[in-house]
A and B are shown apart, each in its own frame.
Chain A
Amino acid sequence: MTLVRQYSKSALLEIINALPLAICVIDKNRSVVLANKVLHGFTNKNNEPLIDQLAGKALGCVNHGRVPDGCGFGQECLKCKLKEALTHTLEKREPTHRVETTMAIKGIGVRVLRISTQPLNLGGKDVTLLSIEDLTDLRSHEKIRLEKEKLSAVLETAGAVCHELSQPLQVINGFCDILIEHRGMDPEITQALDAILKEVKRMGRLNHDLMHITRYETKPYLKSKIIDIEKSSTDS
């Protein structure tokens, strides 16, 4: 059984205004009863009152205006984890913790959010406290860091492969050059040696591209993906 605390509006507003997360209180009709300063900044609605607006509209959800039956009843709303968390807490009076979701917000774009809900009692009425963390920048930095780590691993591997491949390529190339200089060689053998040299040069170019990898670009390969050496190289 979840302990449901009782608060007065002024006391709760004082508390949520002191917190760094975007926080609002939603009643059983899904309307905003209280909203802190961070939420106003988050929705880019600093001068617009959010009180009495439906949660979707108050948060600036792009799907809000598209649904004829109102917020929470559209096709997109069926997949909305925010709606799911709110409904759960409003109906069951149980909290939800750190649910990660994405939301397309008017004038801002798609944001990655981590939401938590908590049942409360506000002046004798059952309400839900909704707190929102915007993880968009964090996730974006994580993605960049991951790409850098992958690139670093690719560069180390590429360096080792280049060095190891260049030696046998040099040996094949050199011996072919020696053989091709033999006078009176069967034309078919000369042709075969030319073909080997052509392929060695091709491998040499590939090695060159490997040495100049500066980005992490992939291409599909069967059911997986592999690094696109040409696209990842500075010379491409």
Chain B
Amino acid sequence: MNQDTILVVDDEKAVLQMFSLAFSKKGYRVRSAENAEEALNILKTEKIHVMFLDLNLPGMNGIELCRAIRKEMPMAILYALTGYASLFELSDCRDAGFDDYYKKPVSMSVLLESAKVGFERIERWRNV
């Protein structure tokens, strides 16, 4: 059983619940946070390498959260999720250090594939 951990950050409980179920059914361990502060607290105590962050978070937004995480964890795989996409937002995401960007609604098969690719990349980097 795969026990790689994924962190999902979204301010909506229903979204977190769905992501937790979908990822855990594929064998991942899922940690979820409703805001940036909660996410940073989790990362203080746990090593998580693959994360899905919603951009529109209360308080510190997803871009700022990504910057904060990237500063401490340059090798983490960070995926942005957004409900309101624009080219400007996409360039901001790249600038903040996101690895990829998904516009909601996105199929779970796409996100599961991204998680798989993310962990494979981390594994490959471990063996460099």
Interface residues of A (CB under 8 A from B): 159, 162-175, 177-178, 181, 200-201, 203-204, 207-208, 211
Since A168-B14, A171-B14, A207-B83 are in contact, a sample of 15 more A-B pairs with Cβ atoms closer than 8 Å, ordered by chain A residue number, is: A162-B83, A163-B56, A164-B83, A166-B103, A167-B14, A167-B15, A169-B105, A170-B105, A173-B107, A174-B105, A178-B21, A178-B22, A211-B84, A211-B85, A211-B86
* A-B CB pair tally, cutoff 8 Å: 66
- Compute how far the CA of A172 lies from the CA of B22 in the bound complex, rounded to whole angstroms: 12
Which residues in chain B, 14-36, are within 8 Å of chain A measured between CB atoms? 14-15, 18-19, 21-22, 25
Chain A residue nearest in CB terms to B82:
A166
Interface residues of B (CB under 8 A from A): 12, 14-15, 18-19, 21-22, 25, 56, 81-86, 103-109
Q: A166-B105, A170-B104, A204-B105 are in contact. Are A178 and B86 (CB under 8 A)?
A: no
Contact in complex: A177, B108 (CB < 8 Å): yes
In this complex, the member of B22, B107, B109 whose beta carbon has the largest number of chain A beta carbons within 10 angstroms is B107
- For A170, the chain B residues whose CB sits under 8 A away are 15, 18, 81, 83, 104-106
- Compute how far the CA of A50 lies from the CA of B85 in the bound complex, rounded to whole angstroms: 61
In this complex, the member of B56, B85, B86, B104 whose beta carbon has the largest number of chain A beta carbons within 10 angstroms is B104
Q: A163-B84, A200-B105 are in contact. Are A171 and B18 (CB under 8 A)?
A: yes
Choose one: B83, B106, B107, B109; the contact of A167 (CB below 8 Å).
B83
- For B106, the chain A residues whose CB sits under 8 A away are 170, 173
The secondary structure that dominates the B interface is: mixed
- Compute how far the CA of A159 lies from the CA of B56 in the bound complex, rounded to whole angstroms: 12
- For B108, the chain A residues whose CB sits under 8 A away are 173-174, 177-178
Contact in complex: B18, A175 (CB < 8 Å): yes
- Compute how far the CA of A33 lies from the CA of B83 in the bound complex, rounded to whole angstroms: 69
- Compute how far the CA of A191 lies from the CA of B35 in the bound complex, rounded to whole angstroms: 37
Least CB distance from B60 to A in Å reads: 18
Contact in complex: A171, B15 (CB < 8 Å): yes
- Compute how far the CA of A228 lies from the CA of B109 in the bound complex, rounded to whole angstroms: 32
- For B83, the chain A residues whose CB sits under 8 A away are 162-167, 170, 207
Jot down 20 A-B pairs with beta carbons below 8 A, ordered by A.
A159-B84, A165-B83, A166-B83, A166-B104, A166-B105, A167-B14, A167-B83, A169-B104, A170-B15, A170-B18, A170-B81, A170-B104, A170-B105, A173-B107, A174-B22, A174-B108, A177-B22, A181-B25, A201-B105, A203-B105
In this complex, the member of B22, B56, B84, B103 whose beta carbon has the largest number of chain A beta carbons within 10 angstroms is B84
Choose one: A162, A174, A204, A211; the contact of B19 (CB below 8 Å).
A174
- For A181, the chain B residues whose CB sits under 8 A away are 25
Choose one: A169, A177, A201, A208; the contact of B109 (CB below 8 Å).
A177
Least CB distance from B89 to A in Å reads: 10
- Compute how far the CA of A100 lies from the CA of B84 in the bound complex, rounded to whole angstroms: 45
